[in-house]
Amino acid sequence: MNKNFKHFEIAVFVTSLFCIIAIFVMIGFILKRDSENLKNQKLDVVFDNSDILFIENKLPISNSIAKNYEGYGMEENIEGYSKFSVTNPLDRKITYEIYLTEQNTDMKSIKTNYINFYLTDDENNPYSGFDKNKMISFYDLYPLKDKPGSKLLYRSTLMGHKTAKFKLRMWLADSYGLTQNKESFSVDIDVRIK
């Protein structure tokens, strides 16, 4: 009887172990499938003007002027400016990233440490990491390993069926020394679920 009971205990233990392993495999499969489905989902991103910002080395601008800029210098390629919104069409909260990808132009590129950015909502309130006293240049932004040439501008979360509005300003820092050589800088704005 003792021997049979020991065999029974071993059988129960082995069966339980297989059940636990099967449950973990199923949970891993479900999480991977949900992650794949989430990556295939798209955010609704709407740009008021353009998803490309472009400036030339015509006029360096002070930070105080650039941060209050409302788009009048865009035609002269003095300042880049874009208004856009990001809407989460899903029923759940998501994490998203706004990233910038440097574009090649016909002109020599301005050094990235002279290109400043300021990100606010549509009421000109700065988003986290973009306060009135701190300047963020393209050089300072974190490079994305999975997107060569791209840098992370902002990461946040957005509840299901909610919208976030943005104003992104880009300008040539006033520490830039003007030259006779024509230089420019251009980035593409992109948004993705992370």
- How far apart are the C-alpha atoms of 126 and 147, rounded to whole Å? 26
pLDDT digits (tens, 9 = 90+) for 43-102: 999 999 889 999 999 889 999 888 888 777 777 888 888 999 999 999 999 999 999 999
Q: Could you read off the pLDDT of 6-51 as tens digits, one per residue?
A: 666 776 666 776 767 766 666 665 555 444 444 447 899 999 988 9
Tell me the per-residue pLDDT of 108-130, one tens digit each, with 9 for 90 and over.
Answer: 899 999 999 999 999 999 999 89
Shared domain for 4 and 99, answered yes or no, is: no
| Residue 192 confidence (pLDDT) above 60 | yes
Clarify whether residues 23 and 87 are in a common domain: no
| Domain co-membership, 61 together with 22 | no
Residue with the larger pLDDT of the pair 169 and 19: 169
Range of the domain at 23: 1-40
Query: For residue 58, what is the domain's CATH number?
Result: 2.60.120
Is-contact 109 185, C-beta < 8 A?
yes
Domain identity same for 48 and 135 = yes
Residue for token pair 């472009």:
54
CA quadruple 20, 25, 30, 34: dihedral, nearest 10: 130
- Same structural domain, 53 and 33: no
Overall domain count for the chain: 2
Q: Which residue has the higher pLDDT, 134 or 43?
A: 43
Same domain? 10 vs 92: no
The predicted pLDDT at position 1 comes to 53
pTM: 0.77
The answer to whether residues 126 and 34 belong to one domain is no
Residue 185, pLDDT score: 94
What's phi and psi for 17, nearest 5 deg? -65, -45
